[in-house]
Amino acid sequence: MARLKWKETLVAGVCALCMSTHCVVAQPEPSQNTSETRHHAHEPDTVAQSDSKQGASDKKPDAASGPLASEKVVETHHSITIGTGASARTINYVAQCGYMEMPNYNGEHKSNVFYTAYFVEPDDGTRDSVSWRSNRPITFAFNGGPGSSSVWLHLGALGPRRVVMGDEGERLPPPYVLVDNEASWLDITDLVFIDPVTTGYSRPVEGENAKQFHGLREDSRHVGDFIRLYVTKHNRWPSPKFLAGESYGTTRCAALSGYLQDTYGMDLNGIVLISPILNFQTARFDVGNDTPYWLYLPTYTATAWYHKKIDPDRIRGLDAVLKESEEFASGEYLIALAKGSALTPSEYDNVARKLSSLTGLSVDYIKQCDLRPVIHNFTKELLRDEHRTVGRLDSRYVGTDRNSVGDSPDHDPSMTAILGPYTGALYEYVRTELEYENDLVYEILTGRVHPWSYGSNENSYVNVGETLRSAMTKNSDLKVLACSGYYDLATPYFAMDYTADHMQLDPSIRQNLTRTYYESGHMMYVRIEDLHKLKDDVAAFYQDTLK
């Protein structure tokens, strides 16, 4: 594959799963960055009560509040051919988009949550029958951030229409267009895309403080309440129920697995985790936390291999170099990190040389990092001699900075490549094809959700893996599919492997968690080959779950 090269810039490096590389532990509010263009990537939420003192007494309108469009839901009818060749199947479907009015426990209207739903329309007109619904799975999908709308999964992977990109995810010239998504999930499940409050068109009602929705527990509670209300209003309790989340959305999925089960008695059939992050200790480069360094190493290796900074003649394939890197990471490198300054000079030099051979960084640079290169060091340094940087969401992408000095890139080229196409396509799609009009800004990615609350986690690492373990234990039929890209430097695949191996699942249900991998990055579906692989993996997962 050729390198993916882009030179666009992006204000303050906004990214769809933004994580501050220097802020590892969830911090109290005063230290959070509240800039609209800065996003802290993998943060779980802590929920305050919707009618808590803070939420109920502070009635100042939030900056994101504004006049809303009509509350009515717009319905349109469409058809699509999903699959290719002999497996192609044409289906008729209904699209619905609009607001759900969300009350608190006492019935007081607190927010308007925007959603887009798709469901298959049977030829015999039995769509509203209980028997049809009970045989039709329904999947609730969302992205992460925190602060991201659901546009990425909606128009990139799951929905019936997708943004046109190059086969490897290259950005094409504007104007940006949509085509039928032959890899849509709609042939196997009905779909509901949710924009949490302050993202997309979702807003608190006038006079309500948006802070009551911005946090690990707050967010999972509010999204969970939406799911419960939607399932009830649309008579979907008999349906098999699934969640699909990406990035921080996987954190939300895990939190929801417990909230829906314990609060509403709603057992899920399955959860699809796309680019998962469940244990933040695995991805937070904090002083004193050596865990991310060895878990990121295999992705550093994959990136260096892709850009021919190691094994330039491709004598070995990606699988071989990853195997070597994983073994070194979980063996000699982990031991070296644990020993710290107790390493002998000879041991230190040996580890530095090995790290250099697996990362493409010079021995001197590795030593300057004290054997601990963080993400922004790596993405700036790997191609410094070529005056280029590599992407964080997808390290196959190459960017250009103003100059080659400094220790971090000016922007993430893998984010800038997709932001414009998805934004332009979303606005056009909603108004022309879904026939829904709303003059509010559709918040694709917003910093308005910060500071994000962590409650009891604010002085510790968030780990919702335990919530998921508990849900899987209580409901032994719950199955989980976790999908990771080898070139994802935001939520590295080896970190999720570690998390899965440390959830302490009982042997009787351990097989209920399945892992799949892709030769792409955080949004693996921007690469056409992996868009289809993801669909195949998901179809097999649903079939296995529902058999």
Q: What is the pLDDT of residue 67?
A: 44
Secondary structure letter of residue 313 according to DSSP? T
Q: What is the pLDDT of residue 41?
A: 36
Both 370 and 442 in one domain: the answer is: no
Both 242 and 342 in one domain: the answer is: no
Which residue intervals of 102-233 are DSSP H helices? 130-134, 151-153, 216-233
Domain annotation covers residue 230: yes
**Domain region containing 428:** 11-281+421-546
User: DSSP characters for 450-516?
Assistant: PSPB-GGGTTS--BTHHHHHHHHHHSTT-EEEEEEETT-SSS-HHHHHHHHHTS---TTTGGGEEEE
Long-range contacts of 258-262 (CB under 8 A, 24+ apart): 258/467, 258/468, 258/470, 258/471, 259/220, 259/221, 259/224, 260/224, 260/227, 260/228, 261/471, 261/474, 261/475
Q: How far apart are CA 432 and CA 427, in angstroms?
A: 9
Sign of CA dihedral 464, 465, 471, 474: negative
Q: Per-residue pLDDT for 35 more than 60?
A: no
**What pLDDT digit, counting tens, does each position of 302-311 carry?**
999 999 999 8
Both 83 and 197 in one domain: the answer is: yes
How far are the Cα atoms of 30, 82, 222, 271 from residue 214, in angstroms, in the given order? 15, 37, 10, 23
Both 258 and 324 in one domain: the answer is: no
Both 289 and 363 in one domain: the answer is: yes
Which residue intervals of 150-275 are DSSP H helices? 151-153, 216-233, 248-264
Given 354, 379, 410, the domain boundary residue is 410
Counted domains in the chain? 2
Domain annotation covers residue 1: no
Q: Per-residue pLDDT for 28 more than 80?
A: no
97's enclosing H/E stretch is strand 89-103
Where does the pLDDT of residue 11 fall: very low under 50, low under 70, confident under 90, or very high at 90 and above? very low
Domain annotation covers residue 51: yes
If one counts every other C-beta atom within 10 angstroms of the C-beta of residue 22, the result is 12
Sign of CA dihedral 517, 520, 526, 527: negative
Where does the pLDDT of residue 48 fall: very low under 50, low under 70, confident under 90, or very high at 90 and above? very low
Both 267 and 292 in one domain: the answer is: no
Both 96 and 228 in one domain: the answer is: yes
Secondary structure letter of residue 308 according to DSSP? T
Q: What is the pLDDT of residue 405?
A: 92
**What pLDDT digit, counting tens, does each position of 282-328 carry?**
999 999 999 999 999 999 999 999 999 998 888 899 999 999 999 99
Residue 497's contacts (CB-CB under 8 Å, 6 or more residues apart) are: 515
Domain annotation covers residue 116: yes
Given 377, 410, 443, the domain boundary residue is 410
Provide the mean pLDDT of the chain: 88
3-state secondary structure 38-78: CCCCCCCEECCCCCCHHHHHCCCCCCCCCCCCCCCCEEEEE
Q: What is the pLDDT of residue 130?
A: 65
Domain annotation covers residue 16: yes
Rounded to a whole number of angstroms, the distance between the first and last alpha carbons of the chain is 38
Domain annotation covers residue 405: yes
Both 347 and 429 in one domain: the answer is: no
Q: Per-residue pLDDT for 39 more than 70?
A: no
Q: Per-residue pLDDT for 251 more than 90?
A: yes
Q: What is the CATH number of the domain that holds 22?
A: 3.40.50.1820
In sequence order, the β-bridge partners of residue 96 are 75, 117
User: What does DSSP say about strands 479-485 and 397-399: parallel, antiparallel, or unpaired?
Assistant: unpaired
Domain annotation covers residue 3: no
Where does the pLDDT of residue 456 fall: very low under 50, low under 70, confident under 90, or very high at 90 and above? confident
Both 51 and 131 in one domain: the answer is: yes
Q: Per-residue pLDDT for 8 more than 70?
A: no
pTM metric for this prediction: 0.89
Q: How far apart are CA 242 and CA 253, in angstroms?
A: 10
Both 531 and 480 in one domain: the answer is: yes
Both 402 and 427 in one domain: the answer is: no
3-state secondary structure 4-50: EECCCCCHHHCCCCCCCCCCCCCCCHHHCCCCCCCCCCCCCEECCCC
Smallest CA-to-CA distance from 223 within 189, 187, 263 is with 263
* Overall average pLDDT of the 188-217 stretch: 96
In sequence order, the β-bridge partners of residue 204 are 111
Where does the pLDDT of residue 180 fall: very low under 50, low under 70, confident under 90, or very high at 90 and above? very high
Given 361, 390, 410, the domain boundary residue is 410
Residue 242's contacts (CB-CB under 8 Å, 6 or more residues apart) are: 137, 138, 139, 140, 189, 268, 269, 270, 271, 272, 542, 545
Both 322 and 271 in one domain: the answer is: no
Domain annotation covers residue 315: yes
Q: How far apart are CA 373 and CA 379, in angstroms?
A: 10
Query: Percentage of the chain surpassing pLDDT 70?
Result: 85
